[in-house]
Structure formats: structure tokens, C-alpha cells
Amino acid sequence: MVLSKTASQSDVSVHSTFASRYVRDSLPRFKMPENSIPKEAAYQIINDELMLDGNPRLNLASFVTTWMEPECDKLIMDSINKNYVDMDEYPVTTELQAILTIDDGFWKQNRCVNMIAHLFNAPLEDGKAAVGVGTVGSSEAIMLAGLAFKRKWQHKMKQLGKPHDKPNIVTGANVQVCWEKFARYFEVELKEVKLRDGYYVMDPEKAVEMVDENTICVAAILGSTLNGEFEDVKRLNDLLIEKNKVTGWDTPVHVDAASGGFIAPFLYPELEWDFRLPTVKSINVSGHKYGLVYAGIGWVIWRTKQDLPEELIFHINYLGADQPTFTLNFSKGNEGYRNIMENCQENAMVLKEGLERTGRFNIVSKDNGVPLVAFSLKDNTRHNEFEISDTLRRFGWIVPAYTMPPDAQHVTVLRVVIREDFSRTLAERLVMDIEKVLHELDLLPSRVSEKLATTISVEEYHPVVVKKTAIEVQREITTAWRKLVADKKKTNGVC
Ligand SMILES: Cc1ncc(COP(=O)(O)O)c(C=O)c1O
């Protein structure tokens, strides 16, 4: 939820022309109105305001599902009045959804958690249920997984009679913002492996180098938020096994498979990134990304019961069970997911090739990864990626531009997430619109140099006096542009 600010006095009423046939006075925006109004008028007023939202289908910024089959919509609407945490009253919903339950010491069967644990190759004994929990998304799943690692590490250090007040976690600088939240909320130091030019994911060698006795886990990402790339979890696992042998530390791995968890098993079944690797103790995945359901659902799955400290589980009245979940997506089966992921991947290629044909972009994403296309301008000295993003808005497209984290912050990329509802026709249409945008921008004077001339002092900017490399010029322009586009400053707020 976004924190809200207090409104200015001038903006405290809602004036609705259309609804004036029912309501003549303007309505207070932030206080409950004194009198009631007809339901038709209330609907009309709210609906009119909502029209100003972007069109979710054209929102290419987000991984989150924007289309489901009408049968799914119907099932959701049919069940919307069930408070699914009332387990006694809704036992079927309870079994379908993914809530962690314990019954007389045995893990109860839970369909979603078990299906996902099998998909991620958890080492389950015959007939034994998997260990996992449904959440509102990967962010919450990551908080729970991180907390379990912190507790396990604290127990271990206490047993060894060692200090246990300075836990740290090792990640790449490309982690999604929820890892920073975890670190701050749960007081764990975040040790980030810096990126570098042309390498935008965590380098496993550097990560393992950074591991020390206080490292509660190394978090690897299967499908980087920034460019969709899968990190090399196998290499990380192998290096960590070596280091653990020498040090005796037993440092584990968590895989943030928010997007990749529903891609890799279908497109790259041979890729070893999951519980097949012994150091991987927990994995999170978002249902509302490539799990193909609306927001908000996610899961965290633990390798075994021992990887989730018992004291984190509430035994009273299913207290931990406040998570919404629908399991509609599972009617697709393996084949359905594979078809959809292959289709997404093909459409990503159509877009990528279209962008390459313009001759104006470098592709920053990899072909094998999350179906998305991240790209940057080969030459952004006259116009940059932020201007392309802004101008595309006029055509209805929402395509974010952002700068990479340290030490690749001079690189700016545009990113298009390819979801199930982004068809080949839309991909071709987007390329055409990008070409139009490039053409329009080419005809305009360079906004950056114009602004630089008027807003940046001579002391700050000496283009003539000093000869600069292309990268230095690019860095300078990015810095200047950041000053001008204050509201687009946050680099890893993309999700
Ligand atoms: C790699 C990664 N981890 C975690 C998240 C957070 O996921 P959620 O929106 O499901 O909380 C995202 C969101 O984009 C992500 O890309």
C-alpha cells in the first residue's frame, strides 16, 4: 500500500457533472458525506474516476496477471463472499488454498503447496506432505523465508556459544526492493554483490566470497526483475558446498523465483535451480506473475520441515492463515503452462527482433529467462530512454525506464514484460509505435541538452573543455536527467 499525504484544501471535494442528475452538491473527498446518495450515483462517480487509470492490458511495466479466463472470473466472483480464513465453515476452500496447517504433528495435505513443491523437486517421501505457505505475494513469502533463516542461524550460533546479533544476507545489487525491506524490518545487514557493465545479475563467485559466519543465507534470483535473467544457482550451490566444507558453516541458499518459478519448470526442465540442489532450503514464487492468476497470491516452500523453525508457527485458530488464495490456475496442468510460457517466449522474440530491426537498441535481457525484453538506446546523447517511455504513454503504452543498480547505474533500460495477454499483434503494434516515437524524437531538438544549457551551471558541465568517453557522457546525461525527472528516481522500485 502506498502511504498517502494530507490533501490540500483546494482538493477536498469530488465534483461530478455526469452524476449531477442524482447529486447536485459536490461530495467531500476525504470525509464521509453527511447524507446518503443513490447507489447508481455512487457507482457512476467512482467508475468515472477509475476511467483515468491506465489500461491494465497495456501496462507492460508489470509482471502481474491482467487477464484470466471468464470461468476463473466466475469462480472468483462465486466465492468472493467467503471469508476463507474460516476454515471450519469453508473446508473445501481451505484444502484448495495454501495455508500452513499442522494437525497432531503431521503436515496436512494442502493442494497448492504440494503441487508447487513437486514442481520444484522437493525431496518428499512417498505420501508425505510438503512444507509451505500461501502469502499475498513473493514479498511476504520472502519475509517469512528470511525470518526462518534468521531464526535457524540464531539457534545455531546460540548453541555454539557465539554472538548472534549481527546477521547478514548476501544478494546481488539487482534484488527487488522487498529484500531491502526484509533487511530493514528484520534487522539483517544486506550485503550486495555489485553489478558491472554487461553483467546485471549476482556473480556467484563474488557472492560466496562475501559469505561469512554471520550469513543467514545467500539469496539468488531466478528471473531478475531488471532484465529477466536467471542467476546461476547451480554454480552458487557448488561453490557454497566447497566453502561450507572448508569452514563448517553450512550456509544455505534461498531462491527468489518470483517470476522464474513458473517458467523454468516448463521451458527449461533440465535447468538445476531448485531443491535438486542440496543447499537450496526455500523458494518463493508469485502466483500472480507467471502463475497466471490475478493479484495477490504467492507461496514459500521449504525443503523439509526442519528448515522452518517450529516456533514461527502459530497453533491457535489458524492465526497464520490470513492469506487469500485461489487455485484456478492449476486446472491448466503442465501442458497448459508449457504452451502459455512458450507462447510468451515467442512473443518476446517477435518484440526483440522488431526492436533490433530498428537498429537503435541494445538488448539487455537474455533469450533464456523470464519472457521480457529489456533494452537500451545505442545512442542516448540526444534523447534518452525516459523520453521514449514518456512519449509511449501518449500511445497508451506503459513501458518503464529505469537505471541499473550499482555499479551499472549509468545504464538506463526500458522493459516490456510479456504476459499471456500480450499477443504477437500487440508486439508488432508496439514496435510500430516505438518507431513512431523515435521518429518524433528525432525531429525534436535534444531536450536534455536544451535543459542542460538552462538548468546546469557551467561548473557542473564542461562538454567542450574535457574530452569524454561515451560512457562518461552517458553517465553525465543520466545524472542530469535524474535531476529533471525526480519522480522516476527510484531504481529498484520496479516490480
Ligand atoms: C525477483 C522478484 N522478487 C520479488 C518480487 C515481489 O513480488 P510480489 O509482487 O509477488 O510481492 C518481485 C516483483 O516483481 C520480483 O521480480
Q: What is the mean pLDDT of residues 399-411?
A: 93
Q: How many angstroms is it from 294 CA to the middle of ligand 1? A: 14
**pLDDT reading at 460 higher than 60:** no
Given a contact cutoff of 8 angstroms between Cβ atoms, the answer to whether 286 and 61 are in contact is: no
Confidence grade of residue 330 (pLDDT, cut at 50, 70, 90): very low
Whether pTM > 0.75 for this model: the answer is yes
Q: Which of 89-103, 130-144, 339-353 has the highest mean pLDDT?
A: 339-353
The C-alpha cell of 332 is what? 491448466
Q: How many angstroms is it from 176 CA to the middle of ligand 1? A: 6
- Whether the CB of 63 sits within 6 Å of ligand 1: yes
Q: What is the mean pLDDT of residues 283-306?
A: 93
State which of 1, 2, 138 you would mutate to test the pocket of ligand 1, scoring each by most atoms of that ligand within 8 A of its C-beta: 138
Q: CB under 8 Å to 343, separation ≥6 — which residues?
A: 420
Mean pLDDT across the chain? 84
pLDDT tens per residue, range 167-211 = 999 999 999 999 999 999 999 999 999 999 999 999 999 999 999
**pLDDT reading at 468 higher than 60:** no
pLDDT score recorded for residue 12: 78
Confidence grade of residue 150 (pLDDT, cut at 50, 70, 90): very high
Ligand 1 atom nearest the C-alpha of 139 is 11
- Whether the CB of 492 sits within 6 Å of ligand 1: no
Q: Which of 72-81, 185-194, 303-312, 452-461 has the highest mean pLDDT?
A: 185-194
Comparing CA positions, the residue from 327, 337, 264, 277 lying closest to residue 299 is: 327
Given a contact cutoff of 8 angstroms between Cβ atoms, the answer to whether 196 and 215 are in contact is: no
Least confident of 5-19, 131-145, 170-184, 215-229: 5-19
**Residue percentage of the chain with pLDDT more than 70:** 79
pLDDT tens per residue, range 342-357 = 999 999 999 999 999 9
pLDDT score recorded for residue 116: 94
pLDDT score recorded for residue 482: 59
pLDDT score recorded for residue 125: 82
**pLDDT reading at 328 higher than 60:** no
CA angle (204 as vertex; 201, 210 as ends), nearest 5: 110
Least confident of 9-18, 203-212, 385-394: 9-18
**pLDDT reading at 90 higher than 70:** yes
Distance CA 97, CA 325 (A): 5
**pLDDT reading at 1 higher than 70:** no
Confidence grade of residue 320 (pLDDT, cut at 50, 70, 90): very low
Q: How many angstroms is it from 75 CA to the middle of ligand 1? A: 26
What the chain holds in terms of domains, given with CATH numbers, is 12-53 (4.10.280.50), 73-334 (3.40.640.10), 357-488 (3.90.1150.160)
The answer to whether the peptide bond before residue 407 is cis (omega within 30 degrees of 0) is: yes
More confident residue, 1 or 432: 432
Least confident of 220-224, 301-305, 458-462, 474-478: 458-462
Comparing CA positions, the residue from 467, 469, 479 lying closest to residue 384 is: 479
- Give the sheet arrangement for strand 412-417, strand by strand: 361-363, 372-377, 412-417, 401-403
pLDDT score recorded for residue 321: 45
**pLDDT reading at 147 higher than 90:** yes
Q: How many angstroms is it from 406 CA to the middle of ligand 1? A: 20
Confidence grade of residue 94 (pLDDT, cut at 50, 70, 90): confident
Confidence grade of residue 73 (pLDDT, cut at 50, 70, 90): very high
Distance CA 477, CA 9 (A): 38
pLDDT tens per residue, range 427-446 = 999 999 999 999 999 998 87
Q: What is the mean pLDDT of residues 382-396?
A: 94
State which of 176, 256, 285, 491 you would mutate to test the pocket of ligand 1, scoring each by most atoms of that ligand within 8 A of its C-beta: 176
Torsion of CA 477, 483, 484, 490, to 10 degrees: 100
Q: How many angstroms is it from 103 CA to the middle of ligand 1? A: 31
pLDDT score recorded for residue 35: 83
State which of 66, 225, 283 you would mutate to test the pocket of ligand 1, scoring each by most atoms of that ligand within 8 A of its C-beta: 225
- Whether the CB of 139 sits within 6 Å of ligand 1: yes
- Whether the CB of 176 sits within 6 Å of ligand 1: yes
Q: What is the mean pLDDT of residues 414-422?
A: 94
More confident residue, 300 or 91: 300
- Whether the CB of 495 sits within 6 Å of ligand 1: yes
Distance CA 252, CA 70 (A): 42
Distance CA 89, CA 24 (A): 45
Ligand 1 atom nearest the C-alpha of 296 is 10
**Residue percentage of the chain with pLDDT more than 90:** 60
More confident residue, 55 or 254: 254
- Whether the CB of 256 sits within 6 Å of ligand 1: yes
Q: How many angstroms is it from 284 CA to the middle of ligand 1? A: 9
Which residue's C-alpha comes closest to atom 16 of ligand 1? 225
